């Protein structure tokens, strides 16, 4: 083909199904040709590098309001810059409905925040916290038809939790409109009970956040979410699964033919509950507070098995960044009890390197499985495929070039997020993204974002979870 704008030459192309040596020809932001000895107006030599579909991080929190006045460390500009440096080309952040707020108004607010600031493409999930008759009967169906085809419900957090009746009502809308529901599955009442007990015993350090958010509470809520989905006959995604107990519920459901999908995250393969101890049970443990919390070595082993055997469809960051200062985690209330420490850790830039290094480089998963978990499956599950998540003729030229031999540690000083720390400081990584292209334009190189924001908001189609 003549008239190619750019050729990625000499690399090893890796998809969810295959790997092979080839050149990739790009024209007008799309993949136009895959072959050998291609020529174009510009050329990138990828000799010795892997050429992968751009990463799709399907679980990201950016510029999200909080109920206690703390400030999230990343807005759309810094968050998407960081994502690009980490090999990502598409993010799926959440538009969080504040109780009492119109869901449509919430979406419009997030569009204002994102407009002109995104270095990657974005596409919003919705968070339904106030399922009023107007929201369920008018706003949510209309938004699904406008391309917001996934939304999240919470089974915990005082300002987000839905009761069982509300969850069933939301599931009914999802089934009728063919929208995919994501579920934060932790038992609210169990967590409150354990928190009260721990505080009464004077156990208030960040470490005890992990004990309050016990895996039993995650298991129970996962089973309840699955049961509700079975009752309504709707597909669901159980997000940020932390260990063996909730995994067994998911496996039980799948063995019965239920359409239950699952996601896990870097903190569940790279951190443990011991990290929350900090330095002799001090506040340093707040750096690792997230929900669900990291578990133990057995949970890590179970997560790896699930990444290999297909229990997990996707691997996301759950990037939810707060600084370790008075704007974020380090407040007088947070010092008084773990229950006031903002839940969330940064990870959008380190998601892909951690899974590549700990998974591919150490022989735990294949290259093809890496691509499936981090790009192709998110695209399929959330209505972006085949425009995204694929290296194929006609797909967007969203590509990440990887050096599989480059070895260096994760260091806060090298990262581009708005946070002032990384929970993965010092973790030695083999295999790093060295160039990220969005629709054929370089948006990051050698760990640094480059160029002006070029990202767009993407309406999405129906999830493949609804396929027969």
Residues 204-246 have pLDDT tens digits of 999 999 999 999 999 999 999 999 999 999 999 999 999 999 9
pLDDT over 70 at 1, yes or no: no
Kindly give, in sequence order, each residue whose CB lies less than 8 Å from that of residue 380, ignoring residues fewer than 6 positions away.
389, 463, 464
Same domain, 170 and 90: yes
Residue 65 has a pLDDT of 87
Q: Indicate whether 110 and 134 sit together in one domain.
A: yes
- Are 363 and 234 within one domain? yes
- Percentage of the chain exceeding pLDDT 70: 100
Same domain, 354 and 420: no
Give the pLDDT of residue 122: 98
| 223 lies in the same domain as 268 | yes
Residues 128, 253: one domain?
Answer: yes
Residue-wise pLDDT tens digits, 70-113: 899 999 999 999 999 999 999 999 999 999 999 999 999 999 99
Clarify whether residues 358 and 283 are in a common domain.
Answer: yes
468, part of any domain? no
Distance CA 276, CA 293 (A): 9
Burial 285-314 (b: 16+ CB within 10 A, else e): bbbbbbbbbbbeeebbebbbebbeeebbbb
Say if residue 197 is in the same domain as residue 77: yes
Q: What angle do CA 421, 270, 60 make, to 5 degrees?
A: 60
Q: Which domain-ending residue is among 368, 403, 418?
A: 368
Residue 463 lies in a domain: no
pLDDT at 291 over 80: yes
Give the range of the structural domain holding residue 165, as residue numbers without chain letter: 54-368
Domain membership of residue 1 (yes or no) is no
- Does residue 423 share a domain with residue 288? no
pLDDT in tens, 295-319: 999 999 999 999 999 999 999 999 9
Q: Is residue 462 in a domain? A: no
Domain with 436 in it: what CATH number? 2.30.40.10
User: How many domains are contained in the chain?
Assistant: 2
Note whether residue 399 is domain-resident.
yes
């Amino acid at each position: 083909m003549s008239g190619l704008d750019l050729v990625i030459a000499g690399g090893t192309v890796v998809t969810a199904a295959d790997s092979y040596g080839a050149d990739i020809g790009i024209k007008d932001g799309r993949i136009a040709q895959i072959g050998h000895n291609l020529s174009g107006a510009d050329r990138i030599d990828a000799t010795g590098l892997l050429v992968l579909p751009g990463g799709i991080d399907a679980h990201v929190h950016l510029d999200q309001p909080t109920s206690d006045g703390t400030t999230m460390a990343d807005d759309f500009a810094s968050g998407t810059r960081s994502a690009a440096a980490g090999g990502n080309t598409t993010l799926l952040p959440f538009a969080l409905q504040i109780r009492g707020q119109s869901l449509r108004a919430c979406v419009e607010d997030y569009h204002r925040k994102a407009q002109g600031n995104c270095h990657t493409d974005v596409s919003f999930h919705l968070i339904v916290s106030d399922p009023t008759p107007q929201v369920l009967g008018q706003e949510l169906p209309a938004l699904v038809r406008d391309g917001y085809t996934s939304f999240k419900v919470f089974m915990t957090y005082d300002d987000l939790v839905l009761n069982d009746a509300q969850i069933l009502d939301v599931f009914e809308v999802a089934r009728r409109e063919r929208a995919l529901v994501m579920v934060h599955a932790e038992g609210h009442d169990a967590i409150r009970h354990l928190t009260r007990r721990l505080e009464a015993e004077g156990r208030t350090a960040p470490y005890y956040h992990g004990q309050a958010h016990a895996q039993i509470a995650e298991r129970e809520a996962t089973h309840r979410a699955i049961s509700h989905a079975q009752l309504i006959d709707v597909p669901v995604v159980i997000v940020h699964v932390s260990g063996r107990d909730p995994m067994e519920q998911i496996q039980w459901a799948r063995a019965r033919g239920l359409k239950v999908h699952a996601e896990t995250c870097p903190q569940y393969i790279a951190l443990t509950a011991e990290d929350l101890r900090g330095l002799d049970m001090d506040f340093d443990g707040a750096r690792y507070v997230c929900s669900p919390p990291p578990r133990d070595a057995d949970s890590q082993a179970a997560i790896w098995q699930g990444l290999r055997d297909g229990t997990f469809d996707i691997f996301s960051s759950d990037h939810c960044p707060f600084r370790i200062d008075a704007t974020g985690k380090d407040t007088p209330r947070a010092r008084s009890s773990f229950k006031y420490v903002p839940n969330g850790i940064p990870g959008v830039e380190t998601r892909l390197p951690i899974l590549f290094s700990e998974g591919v480089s150490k022989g735990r998963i294949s290259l093809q499985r890496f691509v499936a978990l981090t790009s192709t499956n998110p695209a399929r599950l959330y209505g972006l495929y085949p425009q995204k998540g694929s290296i194929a003729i006609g797909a967007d030229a969203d590509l990440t070039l990887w050096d599989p031999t480059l070895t260096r540690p994760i260091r806060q000083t090298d990262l581009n997020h708005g946070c002032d720390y990384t929970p993965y400081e010092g973790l030695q990584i083999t295999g790093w993204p060295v160039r990220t292209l969005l629709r054929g334009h370089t948006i990051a190189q050698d760990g640094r974002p480059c160029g002006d924001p070029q990202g767009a908001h993407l309406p999405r189609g129906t999830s493949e979870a609804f396929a027969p």
